[in-house]
Structure 1
Amino acid sequence: MGIIDKLNKDFESRVRLGIMSILLVNDWVDFTEMKSLLEVTDGNLASHSAGLEKMNYIEVKKEFVGKKPKTSYRVTNVGRIAFKEHLNFLEKLIKSK
């Protein structure tokens, strides 16, 4: 099994890479800010975040602020470990000859 086989397929999408990268350095990030940072559509962000939540990589919090719904995200410990391993394998792949 080569290094490339160790890359986590759950993070192959640029949107998922972006979500995880943003959440790794922030506590909670709300939907509107995440959408703006990644420059993606509502549906694109919703589907990718749902996939990451299903894998227990991120936590999704839905609440009301006044009468407006607010969705926020944060990385879980499982997600932090999995994403850091993915980045380590990427680094090894880049450095391999």
Structure 2
Amino acid sequence: MEFDKLVHQPTRLQLFAHLYANGETSFSALTDDLEITEGNLASHIGKMEEADCVAVNKQFVDGSPQTTYRLTEHGEDLFEAHVQTLEELIDGLDS
């Protein structure tokens, strides 16, 4: 049983799960909700974006910049596959 290292890393797993459950989310909401630093978030989001797992939307709202993130279809597929792998691991414990 292999885990995808991109998804399995603890902070990124939290990001995948949060975005999967909540949809498009702002940068500030992610730092607040997950209690991670801006630099840490930027680093992990960058890796996810490079792997085509997250889409980034930058816009101005009332004259202020706002960045939001959402999982791409590929990101959703990777997260679902990871959850499936975890479920199979748990099911194997019953044997």
Same fold (TM over 0.5): yes
> CA offset at residue 40 of structure 1?
0.3
Residues of 2 paired with 1:22 and 1:11: CA distance? Answer: 12
- Give the letter for the 2:8 counterpart: E
Identity %: 34
Residues of 2 paired with 1:48 and 1:32: CA distance? Answer: 15
8 Å Cα contact 2:7-2:78 kept in structure 1:
no
> CA offset at residue 27 of structure 1?
2.4
In the alignment, structure 1 residue 48 sits paired with structure 2 residue 44? yes
Q: What TM-score do the two structures reach when normalised by structure 2?
A: 0.90
Match of 2:91 in 1: 95
Residues of 2 paired with 1:12 and 1:28: CA distance? Answer: 21
Residues of 2 paired with 1:23 and 1:10: CA distance? Answer: 15
Residues of 2 paired with 1:48 and 1:61: CA distance? Answer: 16
Structure 2 gaps of 5+ residues are none
**What secondary structure does 2:65 align onto?**
strand
Q: What TM-score do the two structures reach when normalised by structure 1?
A: 0.89
- The range that moved more, 57-66 or 42-51, is 57-66
Residues of 2 paired with 1:8 and 1:95: CA distance? Answer: 19
Structure 1 gaps of 5+ residues are none
Aligned residues: CA RMSD: 1.1
